[in-house]
A and B are shown apart, each in its own frame.
Chain A
Amino acid sequence: MKKLLAGAAIALTAMTGSSFADGHANYPERPIMMMVSYGAGGATDFQARIVTMTAGNEDALGMPIAILNKPGAGGRVGWNWLAGQAEADGYTLGAYNIPHFIAQSIKGGVDYSRDSFEPIANWGADPAVLVVGADSEFNSMEDVVAFAKENPGKLTTSGAGLFVGHHIAALQMEKACECKMAYIPTKGGGAAAMKAVIAGDVMAGINNLSDAFRAREAGNVKILGVADLERNDFLPDVPTMMEAGLDVDNSSVNFRGVMVPKGTPKGIIDKLAATVPTMFENSRVTGKMKAGGSPMHIMTRDEVLAMWEQREQTLKELLAGL
């Protein structure tokens, strides 16, 4: 009996050993969970559900990905959970939003930083845009900047909260035009910020390109500028802020993608990093994303690592004075 047990133990060690050696060839063996740190129905949740819907296909992971929402405190609750409590076994993924979680970790009060997570791949990039009501007197970025220069601190501008892409874009605009705006963070995310613009509660707003595009289709807003390096395919007629003479780069672009907690086995990370970008490229996924007005931007693990590092650099400089 003892011999048998010892044999079994040796076999077991050999098996686990081999599975490490071959880089988790059998992963995944059961369904995977992906944590989204915003509520059901938000843009991140909506996109996460679309890009993971083909995970069960044989050419992708072969196992479905289930979405788990852990909303609260602008995403801090979910990311705290992923960094501190989630098991790093490859069966718990998380969705990230850049610049949100890096900006929050720079401001402090959270249990995570850039080093707490390992990126897998990026699926989307939603630039911040400047919107005004359909009947606003502003017709171009120049009008808005001229008003802000003449009336320092009077240009009320809504956005989805503090230390999110919208806030970063507002800070960059203020720095570029050497003027002062009145940034009004709203509770209730981008939808509430957009409502404030349409209802005329504020003079202008910074919002997600995808939501602004929809509001413009409905005839409610004018979009005056995009805070990105290039014009966007959804809005070929809207100039970038650079074109309008404002030195605003793509630091505020809301990048969305998949990451895992630090400590996840290297073999699993490699396998995910190889499979997940091709999963995003599936024509069903890209078709649904385009139909929903969500701009896609697929990046591999190495590209995301570089992007995270560069973003942290810029944000540290930008937030230093606050």
Chain B
Amino acid sequence: MEFLYYFGDVFTPINFGLLLLGTIGGLILGATPGLSPTMAVALLIPFTFQLQAAQGLILLGAAYTSTVAGGAVSAILLKIPGAPANIATTLDGHTMAQKGEGAKALQLSFLASAIGGVFGVLLLIFLTPVLAQWALAFGPSHLFWLAILGVTVIGSLDSKSVVKGLLSGCIGLWLATIGFDDIMGAQRFIFHPALGGGINIIAALIGLFAIPQVITMFAKGRKGDGAEVLTVQKHPISSAFRELFRNKRALSIGTAIGSIIGLIPGVGGQIAGLVAYDQSKKFSPEREKFGTGHPEGVIAAESANNAMVGPSLVPLLTLSIPGSPTAAVLLGGLLIHGIFPGTDLFDNHPDVAWTFINSMLIGQVLMCIFGLYVAGLAAKVAQVPQSVMAAVVLGLAVFGSYSVQSSMGDVYVMASLGVMMYFLERFGFSAAPLVLGLILGPIAEANFIQGSMIANATDGLGPYFLGGTLNIFLISVVIASILYSAYMELRKRRYTSKEEILG
């Protein structure tokens, strides 16, 4: 209960002002395509040099919280996920926006984010010592099986046909091998200097999701007059609350999965949203509605990616190991003031530690309030004529992919992947499985190589990858997931005609 003692510190005028600034600034940065939470926090680091330790961390914590949630804005309205965490949000969120339910989708996403986020921070407050052990439990073999579990999801994610889903997953896995291999130092498929560092995930995200849309909009503009105006339905906040609590299953699945997966260093943040989306789809009685603008999809994805925020800081705050790139930047914010995470932080600087954690808790609520306030206005974006919209999205896509590391190479990567995706989409492939392959490939590969190096030096490959409770548990989940997908596919086939399968 120590944290209650420091609650007052959050509400001093300067601290609260910084909290507001961080939250609003974070929402804006998060909504800008290409500015991932890591970049937003890194941009703010120089300002914290001038502030006191607690003040600096309040700014960074608030910005982290709200950029994660802000990413949903561009994901829903423009179908550009600002960071890997928001991929799953595009699947149902953008379809809702196209149906004129943009305001509803945004409201649901901010409410779900706040509930997931508050739960995640509460876990951080009460269960940190237990969670730290859990974060350490995942060694290379477990991370490998976790990545394989992710691969089993690929086929069923946002595709009409499992085969096409798997095929685009394979393209993603192949794209992930491009570049210098970090472990062995070998060069693979580098035909242009822009590919030396591999395919940047943010640039790829923007290209794969935004460019096919831009091309489609331009193509439509040539056919019609381009003045196709969508109606934007107003949606009262009270009914958004009711809608949210009607979907308790998606909310709890999202929150639980986000908190658990978010803990795992190096993996969590990127796939929490996608895994939560897939699981709530499998458990939902209305699973065929997923992907057609179903509120459950938005709720599961957004509650998961904000629930991840609190637990993702556990390895940093207790063990002094940054579990994600954003946590690494936050570590810099602590070190600049001479504070070492771990026992030093909680024993000698409890005011800093608890003010920081409390401010994230309050930041979640503030983020939700501001988010709800702008949701109605932001949804009007859908009314912008298509020709104008296409130009704006194209501009944002170029800006976003350039700004990741100030490199034109990323813009070329974005553009070529985007054009490729436009043609793939015409043949019924979709971007989400491809991106999942791109994310999971390196995780599976690096952990397999590392695990096998350890295994060869110790007890051999078999016992290392197949022994141990956690390995066996993960393998059985993998098998269950494959069997379930196969069963669903067979059951569906019985009712589909040959033409539908071919189409």
User: How distant is the Cα of A202 from the Cα of B332 in the complex, in angstroms?
Assistant: 26
Q: How far is the CB of A82 from chain B (nearest CB, A)?
A: 12
A162-B183, A191-B322, A218-B320 in contact; A70/B453 too (CB < 8 A)? Answer: no
Contact yes or no, A40 B325, CB < 8 A = yes
Contact yes or no, A72 B180, CB < 8 A = yes
A30 interface residue (CB < 8 Å to B): no
- Which of A168-176, A257-265, A286-294 forms contacts with chain B? A286-294
Q: What mask results when residues 25 to 56 of chain B are scored 1 for a CB within 8 Å of chain A, else 0?
A: 00000000000001100100110010000000
Q: Which residue of A lies closest to B321 (CB)?
A: A195
- Which of B69-77, B158-166, B191-199, B232-240 forms contacts with chain A? B191-199
Contact yes or no, A107 B319, CB < 8 A = no
Q: What mask results when residues 159 to 184 of chain A are scored 1 for a CB within 8 Å of chain B, else 0?
A: 00111000000000000000000101
Q: What mask results when residues 450 to 492 of chain B are scored 1 for a CB within 8 Å of chain A, else 0?
A: 1001101110000000000000000000000000000000000
8 Å CB contact of A218 from B184, B331, B344: B344
Q: How far is the CB of A136 from chain B (nearest CB, A)?
A: 15
Contact yes or no, A153 B457, CB < 8 A = yes
A69-B405, A217-B342 in contact; A154/B457 too (CB < 8 A)? Answer: yes
B329 interface residue (CB < 8 Å to A): yes
8 Å CB contact of A76 from B136, B196, B335, B336: B196
B288 interface residue (CB < 8 Å to A): no
Residues of A11-49 contacting chain B, CB below 8 A: 39-42, 45-46, 49
Q: What mask results when residues 280 to 322 of chain A are scored 1 for a CB within 8 Å of chain B, else 0?
A: 0000000010111110000000000000000000000000000
A40-B38, A72-B197, A162-B183 in contact; A293/B341 too (CB < 8 A)? Answer: no
B residues within 8 A CB of A250?
A: none
Residues of A75-102 contacting chain B, CB below 8 A: 76-77, 80-81, 84-85
Q: How far is the CB of A227 from chain B (nearest CB, A)?
A: 21
User: How distant is the Cα of A80 from the Cα of B194 in the complex, in angstroms?
Assistant: 10
User: How distant is the Cα of A39 from the Cα of B332 in the complex, in angstroms?
Assistant: 12
A192 interface residue (CB < 8 Å to B): yes
8 Å CB contact of A291 from B179, B193, B322, B336: B336
Residues of B381-433 contacting chain A, CB below 8 A: 405-407
Contact yes or no, B343 A41, CB < 8 A = no
B446 interface residue (CB < 8 Å to A): yes
B residues within 8 A CB of A162?
A: 183-185
A266 interface residue (CB < 8 Å to B): no
The size of the chain A interface, using a CB distance under 8 A, is: 61
A71-B197, A185-B183, A218-B344 in contact; A293/B329 too (CB < 8 A)? Answer: no
A residues within 8 A CB of B450?
A: 184-187
B231 interface residue (CB < 8 Å to A): no
8 Å CB contact of B446 from A187, A220, A291: A187
A residues within 8 A CB of B407?
A: 70, 81
A194 interface residue (CB < 8 Å to B): yes
B216 interface residue (CB < 8 Å to A): no
Q: How far is the CB of B340 from chain A (nearest CB, A)?
A: 5
Contact yes or no, A218 B340, CB < 8 A = yes
Q: How far is the CB of B120 from chain A (nearest CB, A)?
A: 21
8 Å CB contact of A42 from B328, B343, B405: B328
Contact yes or no, A219 B197, CB < 8 A = no
- What is the total of A-B residue contacts with beta carbons within 8 Å? 176
Q: What mask results when residues 189 to 218 of chain B are scored 1 for a CB within 8 Å of chain A, else 0?
A: 000010011100000000000000000000
Contact yes or no, B179 A72, CB < 8 A = yes
A74 interface residue (CB < 8 Å to B): yes
Contact yes or no, B458 A156, CB < 8 A = yes
Residues of B137-191 contacting chain A, CB below 8 A: 137-140, 179-180, 182-185, 187
User: How distant is the Cα of A49 from the Cα of B405 in the complex, in angstroms?
Assistant: 16
User: How distant is the Cα of A40 from the Cα of B41 in the complex, in angstroms?
Assistant: 9
B residues within 8 A CB of A291?
A: 335-338
B442 interface residue (CB < 8 Å to A): yes
A71-B197, A76-B196 in contact; A161/B183 too (CB < 8 A)? Answer: yes
A72-B198, A187-B446, A219-B342 in contact; A182/B49 too (CB < 8 A)? Answer: no
Contact yes or no, B183 A218, CB < 8 A = no
Q: How far is the CB of B456 from chain A (nearest CB, A)?
A: 8
User: How distant is the Cα of A104 from the Cα of B187 in the complex, in angstroms?
Assistant: 12
A53 interface residue (CB < 8 Å to B): yes
A1 interface residue (CB < 8 Å to B): no
User: How distant is the Cα of A46 from the Cα of B184 in the complex, in angstroms?
Assistant: 26
Contact yes or no, B179 A187, CB < 8 A = no
B61 interface residue (CB < 8 Å to A): no
Contact yes or no, B180 A76, CB < 8 A = yes
B266 interface residue (CB < 8 Å to A): yes
B291 interface residue (CB < 8 Å to A): no
A109 interface residue (CB < 8 Å to B): yes
User: How distant is the Cα of A76 from the Cα of B198 in the complex, in angstroms?
Assistant: 11
Which of A41, A199, A219 has the most chain B CB atoms inside 10 A of its CB?
A41
B265 interface residue (CB < 8 Å to A): yes
B residues within 8 A CB of A200?
A: 136
Q: How far is the CB of A282 from chain B (nearest CB, A)?
A: 13
Q: What mask results when residues 195 to 237 of chain A are scored 1 for a CB within 8 Å of chain B, else 0?
A: 1101111100000000000110111100000000000000000
Q: How far is the CB of A123 from chain B (nearest CB, A)?
A: 16
Contact yes or no, A40 B139, CB < 8 A = no
Contact yes or no, A72 B196, CB < 8 A = yes
A74-B180, A218-B340 in contact; A49/B454 too (CB < 8 A)? Answer: no
User: How distant is the Cα of A215 from the Cα of B318 in the complex, in angstroms?
Assistant: 10
User: How distant is the Cα of A28 from the Cα of B45 in the complex, in angstroms?
Assistant: 25
B262 interface residue (CB < 8 Å to A): no
Q: How far is the CB of A223 from chain B (nearest CB, A)?
A: 14
A6 interface residue (CB < 8 Å to B): no
Q: Which residue of B lies closest to A213 (CB)?
A: B340
User: How distant is the Cα of A70 from the Cα of B405 in the complex, in angstroms?
Assistant: 6
Q: How far is the CB of A158 from chain B (nearest CB, A)?
A: 9
Contact yes or no, B340 A293, CB < 8 A = yes
User: How distant is the Cα of A104 from the Cα of B185 in the complex, in angstroms?
Assistant: 9
User: How distant is the Cα of A218 from the Cα of B184 in the complex, in angstroms?
Assistant: 32
User: How distant is the Cα of A104 from the Cα of B196 in the complex, in angstroms?
Assistant: 14
Q: How far is the CB of A103 from chain B (nearest CB, A)?
A: 10
B84 interface residue (CB < 8 Å to A): no
A68 interface residue (CB < 8 Å to B): yes
A42-B328, A49-B46 in contact; A74/B322 too (CB < 8 A)? Answer: no
A41-B331, A187-B442, A195-B136 in contact; A156/B321 too (CB < 8 A)? Answer: no
Query: Can you identify 25 A-B contacts, CB atoms within 8 angstroms?
Result: A40-B332, A41-B38, A41-B42, A41-B326, A41-B330, A41-B331, A41-B332, A42-B328, A68-B406, A70-B407, A72-B180, A76-B197, A109-B187, A162-B185, A184-B454, A185-B183, A194-B321, A196-B139, A215-B342, A217-B340, A217-B342, A217-B343, A217-B344, A218-B343, A294-B335
The 6 closest A-B pairs by CB, nearest first: A72-B197, A218-B342, A291-B338, A41-B328, A73-B180, A182-B457
Given contacts A70-B197, A292-B338, 6 further A-B contacts (CB under 8 A): A53-B49, A187-B183, A196-B139, A202-B454, A214-B341, A293-B335
